[in-house]
Structure 1
Amino acid sequence: MKIYLDTSALNRIFDDRSQVRIALEAIAVQSILLLIQEGTVELIASDALAYEISRNPYPQNKMTAFRILQLANSYQAFTTETLHRGQELEIGDNIGKLDALHLACAESQQVDFFITCDDRIIKRYKGIMRLCNPVDFILLMTQSGDTI
């Protein structure tokens, strides 16, 4: 099973966990990272992720996020097709430019789940992938009988 963790999901582990939702999502992302390390799921990375992580102003968080990207089984570079698809998503689904590029890269790699903490992306995306937040992904994996 291929998954794509967007930057909002990757960065969730660094967030202040004083709010219940953020704490749950952080724990879920940590669980997903364990699934990646075990080989239960395959992480897909992209130029969009590398670019956004490179802009992180916190050196320790940036270094950790880049280490996570090294666990990826596949990497999607920007291509003419992904850039064009990103523009389509930006205009058609009213999604921000960088978020649209994440989605285009993930679509190009035919991921099974695009995991994000951004509710707007989940609500607006009308494409072919299944989108969910990290907690929902862990619950789906548990309910479907997949290994956790």
Structure 2
Amino acid sequence: MRLYLDLCCFNRPYDDQTQTRIRLETEAKILLQEKVKRSECELVWSSTLDFENANNPYEEHRLAIQQWRPLASTIAIADSAIIAKAHELSLLGLGQYDALHVASAMAARADLFVTTDDRLLKKMAPSGMLNVLPPGHALAMLEHWYDNGN
């Protein structure tokens, strides 16, 4: 299973952990990353992640996130095809970075796009272009929590 985590997801551990939802999403995100470390899943990275993370004003956060890049099995570089797809996605109402992240994940053939961005989740759900899930739902899918033994 190929996972693309956007920067919102990578930054979740730095959000207010006193909020239950944020704490649970952080834990799920960490468990997804453990699956990458154990080679149970592949991490997909992109030049968009590089660019956006390079502009992170918190050096400690930026460096911690950047440490995941070498673990990626694929790095999608924003070429003309990705930029064209991002433009198409922007017509769905996605912002510039969100569109580039989604287009990069699609180009790299990610199976799951993991985000904590509610707006992005709502915009992508009806499109059917890519399986976009919050961390907890992605973890549940990977671990077959709801398969009922089938």
Match of 1:82 in 2: 82
Cα offsets for 1:71-100 (capped at 9, x unmatched): 111100010000010011012x10001100
User: Distance in 1 between the 2:143 and 2:35 partners?
Assistant: 12
Match of 1:17 in 2: 17
User: Distance in 2 between the 1:110 and 1:12 partners?
Assistant: 24
What letter matches 1:78 in structure 2? Answer: A
Q: Identity of paired residues, percent?
A: 29
Alignment TM-score, normalising by the size of structure 1: 0.93
Match of 2:46 in 1: 46
Q: Deviation at 1:142?
A: 2.2
Match of 2:63 in 1: 63
Match of 1:136 in 2: 137
Q: Deviation at 1:127?
A: 4.4
Q: CA RMSD in A?
A: 1.1
Task: Tell me if 1:3 matches 2:36.
Answer: no
What letter matches 1:49 in structure 2? Answer: L
User: Distance in 2 between the 1:127 and 1:55 partners?
Assistant: 31
Match of 2:115 in 1: 116
Q: Deviation at 1:143?
A: 2.2
Q: Deviation at 1:123?
A: 1.2
3-state SS of paired residue (1:44) = strand
Q: Deviation at 1:68?
A: 1.3
User: Distance in 1 between the 2:128 and 2:82 partners?
Assistant: 14
What letter matches 1:130 in structure 2? Answer: N
User: Distance in 2 between the 1:113 and 1:8 partners?
Assistant: 15
Q: How many aligned residue pairs are there? A: 144
Runs of 4+ with >4 A deviation = none
3-state SS of paired residue (2:13) = helix
Alignment TM-score, normalising by the size of structure 2: 0.92
